[in-house]
């Protein structure tokens, strides 16, 4: 019993695969972290303006309120960033682990998470590419249609990672900070696009694995009945 297309689901598979749900949660938190990255950036710009124009004992009520709001958004952003890192890490861990049920990957689940946390998008681009291509190969071998994803998305992720690192030296200037936030927005959009494809492929693979287990169980039961 095999799914014939990327929308058909086994009648036995009543719920979404667990890692598909983790992936969708990671995508939501990727978007939320992007929104709060922008808010945190605006808050930092407000703080810069406040402290640039500040003279001892001359802070107005409006500036005091702006200061408190800005610090609040920065604090919330820090918490959201930690939640995003956790959500993304747990998803990529199980994505690699589940892929290893079918074929080996370049990195173990633990190494993928640790290197992703340390190196970030540089290693994520390679993990994404490795996962996606191996998922596609397995799905195509079993007559299943994999999710479509242009090859340039992996290259673009890597290029944007280098650009983000190179612009860090310009963050002391406003144009540099603007460029950095634009690049961060672009790489988040690429992450979401790639993650959606990998999540869909992973969902199809887990449904196929579930169907294979059910078929083997049915065959065992039929053989037992024939022998009895």
Give domain status of residue 12, yes or no.
no
Q: Which domain holds residue 130?
A: 18-223
Number of structural domains (the chain) is: 1
Give domain status of residue 7, yes or no.
no
Give domain status of residue 9, yes or no.
no
Q: Which of 101-105, 151-155, 220-224 has the lowest mean pLDDT?
A: 220-224
Give domain status of residue 208, yes or no.
yes
Residue 44: pLDDT over 80: yes
Give domain status of residue 6, yes or no.
no
Taking only the tens place, the pLDDT of each residue in 26-40 is 999 999 999 999 999
Return the HEC string of the chain: CCCCCCCCCCCCCCCCCHHHHHHHHHHHHHHHHHHHHHHHHHHHHHHHHHHHHCCCCCCCHHHHHHHHHHHHHHHHHHHHHHHHHHHHHHHHHHHHHHHCCCCCCCCCHHHHHHHHHHHCHHHHHHHHHHHHHHHHHHHHHCCCCCCCCCCHHHHHHHHHHHHHHHHHHHCCCHHHHHHHHHHHHHHHHHHHHHHHHHHHHHHHHHHHHHHHHHHHHHHHHHHHHHHC
Taking only the tens place, the pLDDT of each residue in 56-69 is 667 788 888 989 99
**pTM for this one?**
0.82
Give domain status of residue 122, yes or no.
yes
Give domain status of residue 193, yes or no.
yes
Taking only the tens place, the pLDDT of each residue in 77-116 is 999 999 999 999 999 999 999 888 888 877 889 999 998 8
Taking only the tens place, the pLDDT of each residue in 120-139 is 888 899 999 999 999 999 99
Give domain status of residue 1, yes or no.
no
């Amino acid at each position: 019993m095999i799914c014939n297309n990327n929308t058909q689901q086994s009648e036995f598979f009543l719920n979404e695969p667990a890692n598909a749900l983790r992936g969708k949660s990671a995508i939501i938190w990727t978007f939320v972290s992007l929104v709060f990255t922008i808010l945190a950036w605006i808050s930092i710009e407000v703080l810069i303006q406040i402290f640039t124009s500040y003279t001892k004992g001359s802070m107005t009520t409006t500036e005091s309120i702006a200061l408190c709001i800005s610090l609040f958004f920065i604090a919330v952003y820090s918490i959201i960033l930690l939640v995003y890192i956790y959500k993304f890490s747990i998803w990529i861990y199980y994505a690699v682990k589940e892929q290893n049920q079918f074929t080996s990957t370049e990195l173990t689940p633990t190494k993928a998470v640790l290197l992703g946390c340390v190196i970030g998008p540089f290693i994520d681009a390679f993990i994404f590419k490795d996962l996606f291509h191996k998922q596609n190969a397995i799905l195509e071998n079993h007559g299943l249609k994999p999710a479509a994803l242009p090859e340039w998305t992996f290259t673009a992720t890597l290029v944007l990672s280098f650009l983000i690192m190179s612009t860090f030296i310009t963050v002391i200037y406003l144009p540099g900070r603007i460029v950095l936030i634009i690049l961060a927005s672009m790489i988040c959009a690429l992450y979401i696009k790639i993650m959606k494809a990998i999540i869909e492929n992973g969902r199809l693979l887990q449904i196929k694995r579930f169907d294979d287990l059910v078929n083997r169980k049915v065959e065992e039961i039929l053989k037992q009945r024939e022998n009895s």
